[in-house]
Chain A
């Protein structure tokens, strides 16, 4: 069962800004870095944001991450049709001797 909670869906029209939330606790988001992944159908997850707000090379600056307390957010600005995908947050959790945790996932639809 997922420890990080995300909204099941989000949507927007091309060019709009979409924000996805990720809610956790003091043992995961509250004390560790947050990571964000994009998954297109039938493909492996792709890292979009690491260490809360860092973008790997090749990821457009339309994608940005932030963290505050025990919550984090991924923002997609200038929404494009190719952004239609599933998005997951993730973090290390210091409880139970340590474990990784993923969010419940958010399906982004471009209207």
Chain B
């Protein structure tokens, strides 16, 4: 059974940092590109970042470029998202998924709230 579990969300002040993690089991993690996708309250889905299976290639939305860093540890089957210089508009549920491949799997998301 495939399991995708995000963690690390919480309340952070504007300008602060947070690191999200996504633990995966049930499929060969290292062979899949992975993405972070977010959804602000009452809004649609927004792709945030992606990383290739080896970690050699990374991609970012313009809205987070220079502030967020995606990475992965294939020995731990874990995906990360380091978020710096957080803004109120980064408030959202963040999902981890192996999107843009074959059948994909999503976690239940972790809520990030940026507020003073």
Contact = CB atoms under 8 A, between A and B. Distances in A.
Contacts of B45: 37, 39, 45, 88, 90, 102, 105
Nearest to A91: B100
Interface residues of A, number: 31
Contacts, number: 67
Contacts of B35: 100
Nearest to A33: B100
A97 interface: yes
Contacts of B62: 96
A105 B44 contact: yes
A44 B37 CA distance: 11
A66 B44 CA distance: 22
Contact of B44 (A50, A51, A56, A102): A102
Contact of A102 (B37, B101, B107): B37
Nearest to A56: B103
B61 interface: yes
B81 to A, nearest CB: 14
A111 B23 CA distance: 40
Closest 6 pairs (CB-CB, A-B): A100-B47, A105-B44, A56-B103, A102-B45, A44-B106, A92-B100
